[in-house]
Amino acid sequence: MQQIVEIMFRTERVDYFVNSKHLEIEPDMQVIVRVERGEDIGRIINCSVHNDELEHKYQNKELGKILRVATEEDIKQLEIVETRDSEAHQKFIELEKKYPFEMKLLDTKYQLDGNKLTFFFSADGRVDFRDFVRELANEFKTRIELHQTSGREDARRLGGLGICGKTYCCVSWMRKFDQVTIQMAKDQNLLSNLSKISGPCGRLLCCLRFEDNEYSHNRNEFPRQGEKISYHEQEMKVAKNDFYNGRIYLVADNGENEVITLEMYKILYGKNKRNPSNKKNNKYSANKE
C-alpha cells in the first residue's frame, strides 16, 4: 500500500500526495511536490492518511508525488520567492487603483518555481476583475489566480485572540473549516445574543461545532422544545433544555414556571414511553402533545 501524505502549502491549501520514493519523512518537514504547473514547496501535516476517497484517487492516478525533501537550495529559493511576494503585493495595490472596484488585498503567494502567482483578497459581493487579471498577467508574465476569501479565511490570515483569550483555533491548529449552523446554537440555548456567539470573522463561532456532538447525544434524552408535558396535574410546555446541567424548564399558559431534572423527566415520561401502563403507578404523569 502506497503512503499517502497530507501537505499544506504556503497558500494554506491542503492536498494529498504519494510518497512513491519511500522518503524518510516526518510531520512539519518541508518537501517539494509535483503540482499542476510545476513544483511547489509544502509542509507535511500527516505522514499517512488513508480512506476510500484517497484510495480511489490513487488508483486513478489523480494524486501528485513527493519529489524530494526540501534541500538547502530549495530553502534559498523560498527566501527569494518570499521577497518577490512582497514586491508583487505592492505592485498589485498600485495597479488596482486604476479600476473602479474596491478590494482589500490580504496576501500574495508565488509558487516556488514562479509558474503561478496567487492574490488573496476580500470584497463586498462579486467583483468582475477579468480586465485586471489580464493586466496582472502581462505585468508578471506568469499564471495569475485571484482568490476571494471568506470571513473565516480573513481571520485565519490576519490572526488575533478569541473571546477565550487564546489565539484563534483556525490559526493555531485547525486545518479546515467545518460548517457551523444556527441549529447548533439553538441546541445549545445560545440564540439569545447572536453577537456573543459570533467570531471576529462575523461568522458563528467554531466552538459551536466542537461541542455539537455532545449536545446531539444529550438531545436524544431530552424532550423537544415546545413539547407539552402534564406535570402536577397541569399542562406545561417545555420552554428550554439545559443539556449541560441536566435540567428542563417548563412554563404553563398562566405563566407559572417549573424546573425539573432530566432524571425526574425520565421517571415521569422516559420509562412510561416504553411501558405506558406504568403511568397509573406514578404520582406524576407526563404526556406528549
For the chain, the domains span 4-70, 76-149, 160-219, 228-281
CA distance 162 to 167: 6
pLDDT at 270: 61
**DSSP state, residue 101:** S
CA distance 287 to 235: 9
Q: Which of 106, 116, 151 is nearest to 137 (CA)?
A: 116
CATH number of 76-149: 3.30.300
Q: Using CB atoms within 10 Å of the CB of residue 176, give its burial: 0 to 12 exposed, 13 to 18 middle, 19+ buried.
A: exposed
- What are the cell numbers at 71? 534541500
Identify the bridge partners of residue 96 per DSSP, sorted by sequence position: none
pLDDT at 112: 96
pLDDT at 277: 38
Q: Beta 14-18 vs 64-69: how paired, if at all?
A: parallel
The phi and psi torsions of 200 (rounded to 5 degrees) equal -60, -20
pLDDT at 102: 83
Q: Which of 3, 4, 6, 65 is nearest to 40 (CA)?
A: 65
CA distance 116 to 37: 7
Q: Beta 234-242 vs 247-252: how paired, if at all?
A: antiparallel
Largest CA distance in the chain: 85
Q: Is the dihedral of CA 13, 16, 18, 23 positive or negative?
A: positive
Identify the bridge partners of residue 257 per DSSP, sorted by sequence position: 251
pLDDT at 278: 41
Say which amino acid occupies 236: M
List average pLDDT for each run of 10 residues in the chain, which is 289 residues long: 87 91 93 93 92 88 93 96 96 92 90 95 83 93 90 78 86 79 82 80 85 76 83 85 85 88 81 41 42
pLDDT at 272: 43
pLDDT at 111: 96
204-210: long-range pairs with CB below 8 Å, 24+: 204/180, 205/162, 205/163, 205/180, 206/169, 206/170, 206/174, 206/177, 206/178, 206/180, 207/169, 208/180, 208/184, 209/178, 209/179, 209/180, 209/184
Q: Using CB atoms within 10 Å of the CB of residue 41, give its burial: 0 to 12 exposed, 13 to 18 middle, 19+ buried.
A: buried
pLDDT at 276: 38
Distance set, CA 276 to CA 217, 284, 287 (Å): 24, 13, 10
- What are the cell numbers at 131? 480586465
pLDDT at 286: 45
